[in-house]
Amino acid sequence: MNNRTLVTTAAISHWRAYLRLCKPRVVALVVFTAMVAMILAAPPGHLPWQRLLAGTVGIALAAASAAAFNHIADRHIDAIMQRTRHRPLPSGTIAIGPAFVFATLLGADAMLLLWFAVNPLTAVLTLFTLIGYAVVYTRYLKWLGPQNIVLGGASGAAPALLGWCAVTGQLEWQAFALFMIIFVWTPPHFWALAIARRNEYASAGVPMLPVTHGVAHTKHSILGYTIALLPVSLLPNALAMSGLVYLIGATLLGMVYIVRAHRLLHVDSDTDAMRLFGYSITYLTTLFTLLLVDHFLVI
């Protein structure tokens, strides 16, 4: 292997580390929910492609910035936890200084793009969301107690509001319906992971629900939220945002989620908890896909 190949390989590895700072899977889900909100908010048959593209890129950059800032803030506990100790900062692949500059540049680019190419309200709301996740949740709410993920869920649900606002320039009830779906979905989604990783959270001193109240209590809380999620997921129908296709699909998805959560009550398996965590991602992705399908069928 010659020197040029070595340099190229090192450069690719370095940029992959920066990509990992952005949590691409999380960003992809954030961007997808925001895009669905943008499409639903657009006038029938008149998609504002320029604003859709600018809003998507801007929200993606902001989400990546928030993820990178989260890596910086959590680098000490990431070094303790098995799941996260190989991340770029605790592993030493990237130093904190360059990571901070990278996160700041991403955030600044996001704000400029959203302000000038979308609208100022979306830029301001996105900035508040970034600060809410990267600072308020990561530095404070996460450490308050077992309801931390509930309190911090607003940041994860905000992209639906941002997407809607990017197209309409205002916040409307339909946007809050999408927000509420993600907000109620977040606790059972994350608590399933927390059950499987409870020992790691305990060693890092993070007061997640299964650490403070035990696995059994957490499983019942997951079931309670999945039951509550079913009627919340039907808010788009109540607001005439969707039709029969979404109604049937959302009901079936929600019932399967409830059955899976109930089944988890009777098994003592971290593998089953991770399966429920995986289903939660499938659930939300499919739910928002159904919103799109139903929307275009009506058009």
Tokens standing for residue 68:
């990178």
User: Could you identify the residue written with the tokens 């996740």?
Assistant: 133
Is the C-alpha dihedral spanning 287, 290, 292, 294 positive or negative?
A: negative
**Long-range contacts (CB closer than 8 Å, 24 or more residues apart) made by 82-87:** 82/200, 83/197, 83/200, 87/20, 87/21
Alpha carbon distance 133, 202 (integer Å): 22
Instruction: Check whether 154 has a pLDDT greater than 80.
Output: yes
| Contact call for residues 287 and 233 (beta carbons, < 8 A) | yes
Dihedrals φ, ψ of 257, to 5°?
-60, -45
Alpha carbon distance 179, 232 (integer Å): 10
The pLDDT, as a whole number, for residue 279 is 97
Alpha carbon distance 100, 123 (integer Å): 21
What does the pLDDT look like over 125-149, one tens digit per residue?
999 999 999 888 888 888 888 888 9
What does the pLDDT look like over 229-249, one tens digit per residue?
999 999 999 999 999 999 999
Class of domain 19-170: mainly alpha
The pLDDT, as a whole number, for residue 22 is 87
The pLDDT, as a whole number, for residue 262 is 97
What does the pLDDT look like over 169-209, one tens digit per residue?
999 999 999 999 999 999 999 999 999 999 999 998 999 99
The pLDDT, as a whole number, for residue 297 is 84
The 8-class DSSP code of residue 5 comes to: H
Alpha carbon distance 3, 103 (integer Å): 31
Q: SS3 helix, strand, coil % of the chain, rounded to 5?
A: 80, 0, 20
Task: List the domain boundaries for the chain.
Answer: 19-170, 172-299
Which pLDDT band, with edges at 50, 70 and 90, does 6 fall under?
very low
The H helix count followed by the E strand count for the chain is 15, 0
pTM above 0.85, yes or no: yes
Which pLDDT band, with edges at 50, 70 and 90, does 7 fall under?
very low
Which of 179, 75, 61 has its CA nearest to residue 127? 61
The 8-class DSSP code of residue 93 comes to: S
What does the pLDDT look like over 29-59, one tens digit per residue?
999 999 999 999 998 778 889 999 999 999 9
More confident residue, 203 or 225: 225
Alpha carbon distance 194, 254 (integer Å): 21
The pLDDT, as a whole number, for residue 14 is 66
Tokens standing for residue 66:
């928030």
| Contact call for residues 147 and 224 (beta carbons, < 8 A) | no
The pLDDT, as a whole number, for residue 290 is 97
Alpha carbon distance 154, 164 (integer Å): 16
DSSP letter string, 191-256: HHHHHHTHHHHHHHT---HHHHT-HHHHHHHHHHHHHHHHHHHTHHHHTTS--HHHHHHHHHHHHH
Which pLDDT band, with edges at 50, 70 and 90, does 8 fall under?
low
Counting residues of the chain whose pLDDT is more than 70, the rounded percentage is: 95
The pLDDT, as a whole number, for residue 81 is 84
Alpha carbon distance 215, 276 (integer Å): 14
Alpha carbon distance 207, 99 (integer Å): 27
Question: Quick one: average pLDDT of 149-175?
Answer: 92
